[in-house]
Every structure is written in C-alpha cells, then in structure tokens.
Amino acid sequence: MSQLAAFSKVRVVVLGDLVADHYLFGQTERISREAPVLIVRHERDEVKLGGAANAAANARALGGRVTAVGLLGADEMGRAMRALFKRQGIGVEAVSGRGIPTESKMRILAGGLSTSRQQMLRVDRGSVGPLPPAVREALAQRLEKAARTADVVVVSDYGAGVVCPETRQVVRAIARRGVPVCVDSRFALAEFKGVTVCKPNAPELAALTGLPVGSDAEVDRAAAAALARLGCEVLLVTRGRQGMVVYSKGQKPTRLAVHGPEDAVDVTGAGDTVIATFALAVGAQKPFLEAAHLANIAGGIVVQKPGTATVTQAELMGGLAR
C-alpha cells in the first residue's frame, strides 16, 4: 500500500484569502509611440487557484478531501474560481457580498516571436481596508460549519482580510477542541497563539521576533523565541535554498536540505504547497518530522514548475523514491 494512501481519507479545511492568479500571455515586438512602453499583443489568458485556494488545490492534488473557506466576488474572476474549484473536486464555503471583489493578481507575461514569455507587470485587485462586520461574521460562521468534521485545518493568510479577529477566534476554538491547526500567516503570525503548527519563512520569523536570521545559530535563537511566544507544538521555518528547519519544544532542531536542484524555476505559491502537504500528513496522523520530510520534498518539486502549481501524489511518491 502507498505510503500516502491515508491522504484520501483526510478532511482538510483551508481558511484564507482565495486569490485568482490571472496570467495574460502576449507577444511584444515594438515600443509604443504614446509612451516609452512595450506594446503587448494579447495571445491568451489563464486563471489558476492562488493564495489560500492554491493551498486547497495542493491538498486536493495529493488526495485530500478539501473544503475552502473565504471570499469570492460575484464577478468574472469569482466565476472562474468557482468553476476551477468544481473541476478539481474542492468544496467551497465562500462568502460573497455587494461591492466585494474577488482578490486577484494579474501577471502580464510577454516576449518576442519564438521566445519564452517573461513577467513584465503585475496588477492586483481586491478589497482595501477591513471587511464589513457582517462579512467577517459570515466568514466565521462558514468556518465553524466547515470545521465540524475536519481532521485538520489550514490557515493561509495573505493579509487580504479573510483572516480577521472573528475567524481567528474560531481558529483558536478549533485548536482547543484538539483538531490540528496549521498556520501560514504573512503578517499576523503573533495572533495565532496555541495552534499546532506555525510556518514562517526566514523574513517572517525575523519580523515576528525582531531578531536576525542570517546564520543557523541566529535562526535557532529566533525560533526559540517564536516557540515561546506562540506556544505552538511545532515551528516549521522555510529558508529558501537553505532548506527548512523543524523546531519543537525540548527537541533539537531538525534541518532538511533542499530536495532537488537548489535553483528554483519559480517560487510562486511554494509556501502553499509546503503547508498543505504538512497539514495533510498531520491529518493522516503521521509524526511531525515525517510530515516535514514530505512537505520538503513537495516544496522542492513545485519550485521546478512555472507559475502557480501543485504537486500530485504520484510526483510526491517519485520524490520519496529518489
């Protein structure tokens, strides 16, 4: 039986900012006479599940039974996202309201004839400022409902408003009930005291603790301070080409070297892959170190793919075999 067979039974709830990763591909041959800018001749568009939706897509690609909780606007990107969720077999508990757009990142990629397309510009759309109280309360209710039967909860917080005081309160209550909660928060990790797993990258660890994170010893000191402050069971620190480190109270750090080539093709969404894989393994009741090992392999695989991407169970098994 596959080492990952248990993944198919794990019920995962992903809370966070559901982002439409919108790629616009084009060809450029000349500079505009109106301004010193390149003219891009449109070729095609592609929309992928990004942000917390990418974490959900990764958990699903690895075999999990996934529900995503967040915001989706009644707009073109929102409709595209719902279609992608349905196609991939991901359940959606999304709040929609008047004047609330779908969070989106449009990347314009262009190049000359017979050349690869390179990113020229990114245009972000989404809500500015805190969400209305009624929307925040509705999100909290959707999360509470979705998590009643969850084996593990993932928080993928990109700072776009879905992870708010109301939803964080529900997250803390879920953790107190004994359900594993794995958190990846770009700006507000300090608000998640008492959850199971926190996954900062090195800059986020530095921002959380106010300590330097250049050397191994500095990362260890900052991680110890973060563990004490957060009260989590495990701190998973990702360090780019320096791999990742697993910390838990009373245990020596476990350092994992990068899986595969050190030079990444594209790191877009790699953190989503790592947290989704780790959470799925925890939901399958695998030990934390084994979960970290699987997450490290998945992260090494996904950064060799262009754009927002996922890792399949077959690819992860292949990585384990190597």
Residues belonging to the active site: 272
Q: Which residue has the tokens 């990004």?
A: 50
CB–CB of 20/27 below 8 Å? no
List, in order, residues 6 or more apart from 119 with CB less than 8 Å away.
107, 108, 109
List, in order, residues 6 or more apart from 319 with CB less than 8 Å away.
259, 260, 297, 298, 300, 301
CB–CB of 284/10 below 8 Å? yes
Strand order in the sheet with 18-31: 38-51, 18-31, 103-111, 118-125
Joined tokens for residue 80: 């595209």
CA distances from 200 to 33, 90, 156, 182, 185 (A): 46, 26, 11, 11, 7
